[in-house]
Amino acid sequence: MRALAYSDDGAPAAAGPDSPPAVELDGVSKVYGGTPAVEDVDLAVREGEFFTLVGPSGCGKTTTLRLIAGFESPTAGTIRFGGEVVSGIPPEDRNIGVVFQNYALFPHMTVGENVGYGLRFQDPPGGGSTEDRIAELLDLVDLPDAADRDPNTLSGGQKQRVALARALAPGPEVLLLDEPMSALDARLRERLRVQVKAIQRELEITTIYVTHDQEEALAISDRVAVMRAGTAEQIAPPREIYRRPSSRFVASFIGDNNVLEGRVRAIEKGKRKAGTACVAVIDVDDAAFRLETTETITAGDRATICVRPEALRIDGGTSRLTGTVESVEFLGETTRVQLGWNDREIILRTPDPLSGAVTVGFDPEDAHLVAVER
């Protein structure tokens, strides 16, 4: 099945599409004992961009970060920083800051000594004193009075902010974060990711972030690379990843989605403000769904489409199906309802709980064409 390709029409606020790449991976692969962990990855991270690698466990996202950091050497391909090849350059000479999942604070040092550890080997950026730099960074991460504290007295979120301050102390050109919030509770993760994003924006530092949390990736990033089996399945801004997934995997992995396969019965003329669109009539089981698309598609093609749960409306839309409520989950602001339809699972979100038989529908512009097979 052919996955559809989409252009990247978004750009981070701190770096436009014409900015020089800060980090480039060109055909990078890493093989362990004959098993590829990363396979032929191409990506370019812009100056000042917040770029996130997201994917399930074992997809290669942490290995990719370790290759960028210099902790691992690629089996094939080239890594460049600012256009310069960094092969053979050790991590300490790559001008990077790294924040690990487990904080890795030194327990025998105070918070201030932890933050200033990297300044033992170089002068603080800007020519100030080490003490001033430590104070500046602790203030930046909202821990202004913590310099003399023992790290063991800090909460998990405070430890992570100290680790971030320590990584920033030498003034790195690139900041690498490996699942830095995975050990924190959900509410704390939400607060901390806002702080991390604000700090990144204030410093305008190129940041590469690894997470398995899809919501976190969408909330914090300028662009996202969705990884699968060692490859980057799609690289795009968060809204494009969510609204226009380029493959069935991306459509299924990023948030709830209803992914359906059928055959194109007919092509109808459609209208769209920008670009030329058609409306495809796609038979899925005993239902006919209409989908608006600018992609090349003809009658007889097999098509994979997706419709987000929030796009389904009860007794609304021009494409409809009737299913039976199988489960209801109250999530606070919304209710997640699972319908059974022709041995398929259909998910919708609604303000109120439902029961029994329910008819839901969507309009052609609410569906997205994921893949086509001739």
* Domain layout of the chain by residue ranges: 10-253, 258-373
Q: Which distant-in-sequence residues (6+ apart) come within 8 Å of 286 by Cβ?
A: 342
* Residue 33 CA: distances (Å) to CA of 30, 37, 72, 195, 236: 10, 10, 14, 40, 32
Measured CA to CA, the distance from residue 245 to residue 369 in angstroms comes to 9
pLDDT at 342: 94
What does the DSSP 8-state code read for residue 310? G
pTM of the model: 0.90
CB atoms under 10 Å from CB of 135, counted, come to: 16
pLDDT at 11: 42
Task: Spell out the per-residue pLDDT of the chain, length 374, in tens.
Answer: 444 433 344 444 444 556 569 999 999 999 999 999 999 999 999 999 999 999 999 999 999 999 999 999 999 999 999 999 998 999 999 999 999 888 889 999 999 999 999 898 888 888 889 999 999 999 999 999 999 999 999 998 999 999 999 999 999 999 999 998 887 888 888 888 899 999 999 999 999 999 999 999 999 999 999 999 999 999 999 999 999 999 999 999 999 999 999 999 999 875 544 456 789 999 999 899 999 998 888 999 999 999 999 999 999 999 999 999 999 999 988 999 999 999 999 999 998 889 999 999 999 999 999 999 98
> Residues 263-289: pLDDT tens digits?
999 998 755 444 567 899 999 998 999
The CATH H-level superfamily of 10-253 is: P-loop containing nucleotide triphosphate hydrolases (3.40.50.300)
pLDDT at 126: 82
What does the DSSP 8-state code read for residue 91? G
Measured CA to CA, the distance from residue 19 to residue 30 in angstroms comes to 28
Measured CA to CA, the distance from residue 25 to residue 23 in angstroms comes to 7
Measured CA to CA, the distance from residue 173 to residue 169 in angstroms comes to 11
Q: Find out whether 353 and 328 touch, Cβ atoms under 8 Å.
A: yes
What does the DSSP 8-state code read for residue 63? H
Q: Are strands 50-54 and 35-46 parallel, antiparallel or unpaired?
A: unpaired
**Spatial CA neighbour of 51 closest among 143, 152, 177:** 177
Grouping H, G, I as helix, E, B as strand and the rest as coil, residue 203 is helix
pLDDT at 121: 82
Buried b (16+ CB within 10 A) or exposed e, 255-278: bebbbbbbebeeeeebeeeeeebb
Measured CA to CA, the distance from residue 321 to residue 362 in angstroms comes to 9
